[in-house]
Amino acid sequence: MSSSSKLLAELIDALRCLPGVGGKSAQRMAFHLLERERQGGFRLAAALEAAMRDVGHCSRCRTFSEEPVCPVCASASRDKHVLCVVESPSDLVAIEQATGYRGLYFVLLGRLSPLDGLGPEELGLPMLAQRLGEGEVEEMILATNPTVEGEATAHYLGQLARAAGIRVTRLAHGVPLGGELEFVDRGTLAHAFGSRQVLGS
């Protein structure tokens, strides 16, 4: 877009870093903020700066957290014997909102994908193996997405858990193949979660 305003052009370009936002969408957002939502723009800028500066990762489960240990991991009411492994913080939120799950989590922040440079180290698997070796976890629920990479990751995780003598379960069918957990409706996700099955070797 050609613009006489360098700052406007920079704003439009910055908005394009968001997923699914192309040039036209970024331009529409920028114009909306400047024309009708100046206060909203200031609030957005402040919230964005604070989040980028202060939100890190939980030292236990790796989800987003402002504290060293997130509220879920710090809660005394959660079942420490069950650990649900998910790919992303958005998957954790989806399970929390759709099910009555009261165990703990481990967030991979991705899935095994050598082409993208995502191996066991990047997914925090040494940390997970250490946690499984502490003897507290009795069941590990594999809630990786039902994609090719997600299934490969689940297989790898299953071997890791079985080597530690831990029962492994996988979300039941009902979550569509090729789908992403954050886009699955609550009823389907709740049913799949409640009907999880023991993973075969």
Q: How confident is the model at residue 173 (pLDDT cuts 50, 70, 90)?
A: low
More confident residue, 61 or 179: 61
| 9 Cβ contact partners less than 8 Å away, ≥ 6 residues apart | 1, 3
How buried is 121 (Cβ within 10 angstroms: 0-12 exposed, 13-18 middle, 19+ buried)? Answer: exposed
Q: What residue ranges do the domains of the chain occupy?
A: 6-54, 64-198
CA distance 110 to 85: 11
167-183 burial string, b = 16+ CB within 10 Å, else e?
Answer: ebbbbeebbeeeebbbe
State pLDDT tens for residues 128-146.
Answer: 999 999 999 999 999 998 8
Topology, domain 64-198: Dna Topoisomerase Vi A Subunit; Chain: A, domain 2 (3.40.1360)
State pLDDT tens for residues 74-84.
Answer: 999 999 999 99
Asked whether residue 201 carries a pLDDT value surpassing 60, the answer given is no
Rounded to the nearest integer, the mean pLDDT of the chain is 90
Instruction: Enter the DSSP assignment of 4.
Output: S
pTM passes above 0.75: yes
Average pLDDT rounded to a whole number, residues 45-62: 97
Asked whether residue 110 carries a pLDDT value surpassing 70, the answer given is yes
Average pLDDT rounded to a whole number, residues 106-113: 95
The superfamily in CATH containing domain 6-54 is: RecR Domain 1 (1.10.8.420)
How far is CA 183 from each of CA 2, 8, 95, 141, 169, rounded to the nearest angstrom?
36, 33, 11, 20, 22
